[in-house]
Amino acid sequence: MLLEQKRKDLVDIGLRAIREGLTTGTGGNFSVCDRESGLMCITPSGIPYVKTTPEQIVVMDVQTGRIVDGDAIPSSECDMHRIFYKYRTDLDAVIHTHTDYASTYSCFRRPLPAIHYLAAFGGVEVKCAEYATYGTVELARNAFKAMEGANAVLLANHGLLAGAKTLDKAYDITEELEFCCKMVCFSMAMQASGFSPVELPREEMERMVERFKGYGKVFEKHEEI
């Protein structure tokens, strides 16, 4: 089977997302890119993650969008994944979800406020892409434009998209930004009582982006306490 391991990885990550509450049913879509062959693997359309098999993961040509292999129809958002692989070589995995809080906050069509440093997993600023009908090239272009220089983007009245070098990293970004969106939604509710969250300055978010590059890889030496 063509790109067998990558297809199995997508099945596994879909099951993990279901198990951990980051998606439901057939919501969202997951993909990975194989740079050597110029192909991408993406979850199928209309098949629940708990029933998806590796054979149903669809293999497509990144440059042309041609279906190369797979026993199903590719996700309707395949162009939104393909555009990132075609023009951003720093991303080899893309995860799009309809998580509760990110989807809720996306309806306000605003950038994600930096009220927690974990928002830096998505970049110095996580913007909200302009609204477009799902599954369209317009949405793909809007997402690509809004995610320039970042690892994630909110999709207006829709959900969240995150990209990274690996599926696990893209999944981590999705988890952390859903947590941040949850904090923002709670904070917005508290504003009715006269409380307002304090946003972290851009300089601190830039510092966090740099620190996260070595997270879990490099031990940081600290000043004497």
Cα–chain center distance at 134: 15
* DSSP character string of 150-199: SSEEEETTTEEEEEESSHHHHHHHHHHHHHHHHHHHHHHHHGGGT--PPP
The amino acid that residue 21 corresponds to is: G
In this structure, are residues 211 and 219 in contact, taking their beta carbons and an 8 Å threshold?
no
Secondary structure of 45-90 as H, E, C letters: CCCCHHHCCHHHCEEEECCCCCEEECCCCECCCHHHHHHHHHHCCC
d(CA 102, CA 202): 21
Q: Catalytic residue among 4, 36, 55, 77, which?
A: 77
Residue 185 neighbours by CB distance under 10 Å: 16
Catalytic annotation on 199? no
Task: Report the candidate in 188, 16, 186, 185 with the shortest Cα–Cα distance to residue 97.
Answer: 16
Q: What is the CA radius of gyration of the chain?
A: 18
CA 39 from centre of chain: 19
Active-site positions? 77
